Amino acid sequence: MPTEINEEVVERRTDRLLEEYGDAPVEEETWEDSAAEFARAIEHAENGYLGGAYAWVVRESEDAAPLTDSMPGEARPDARKALMILNRANEKWGLPGGGREGDETFEETVRREVREETGIECAVTDLFLLRHVTAVPESESVAAEFETDRVHFLYVFFDATYEGGSIAIQPGELDGAAWFADPPARMLPANERRAESWTPEAGD
């Protein structure tokens, strides 16, 4: 039998999320790791790391600060907007969020991470994607170095609403953060998935 790390807890968390929020796509993804990468995956898992949580945070027009008199008329103060971050590592727009810590639920994780990364408070409303990642050695020679065959992680993507705050980024991690009525180019895949059904008008 293959030796697994995190498999049962990932399955339990997945079942809980689907039961609470209803059906959502569950993507299965395999990462073929080098020896160094697989060793890090094992170390992270043994230290309690299970995965991460991210949010498509929406701010309704009535929650935006009023426009100043100097703002142009095309500034669209009546549009809903979604919060996105510009990652320094890949220069693409992504969803705020990050790794789960301690005994957090994924909902607690995403609220904390959004606050830490952007200064924005949010409330989780729904679930739009689960990504179950299985890390495996990239070759039989790498596998022979380890007693573990596979390491499992869960990445959770929520819808959320703006609860307060103003954007203040972590400069050591991000190049920027912004509210978008129309999604930008150069988005990460989870953004592209959610943006397919997004409109800045109410009722989305």
What's the pLDDT at 40? 96
What's the pLDDT at 95? 94
In the three-class reduction of DSSP (H, G, I as helix; E, B as strand; rest coil), residue 11 is classed as helix
Residue-wise pLDDT for 40-95, tens only, equals 999 999 999 999 999 999 999 887 777 676 766 665 556 789 999 998 777 889 99
- What is the CATH class of 4-61+80-195? alpha beta
Question: What's the angle, vertex CA 130, arms to CA 129 and CA 133, rounded to 5?
Answer: 140
- Delimit the domains of the chain by residue range: 4-61+80-195
What's the pLDDT at 192? 86
User: How does the average pLDDT of the chain come out, rounded?
Assistant: 90
Q: What share of the chain is helix, strand, coil (3-state, %, to 5)?
A: 30, 35, 35
**Which candidate, 105, 118, 100, places its Cα nearest to that of 177?**
118
Burial class (CB in 10 A: 0-12, 13-18, 19+), 138: middle
Residue 3 C-beta-side C-alpha neighbours within 13 Å: 8
Which two structure tokens, joined as six digits, stand for 129? 């994607």
Of residues 77 and 131, more confidently modeled: 131
Residue-wise pLDDT for 186-202, tens only, equals 888 888 888 888 888 75
- Contact (Cβ atoms closer than 8 angstroms) between residue 95 and residue 188: yes
What's the pLDDT at 88? 77
CA pair distance 180, 154, nearest whole angstrom: 27
Please state the φ and ψ torsions of residue 168, each to the nearest 5 degrees.
-145, 100
Q: Is 59 left (phi over 0), alpha (psi -120 to 50) or beta?
A: beta
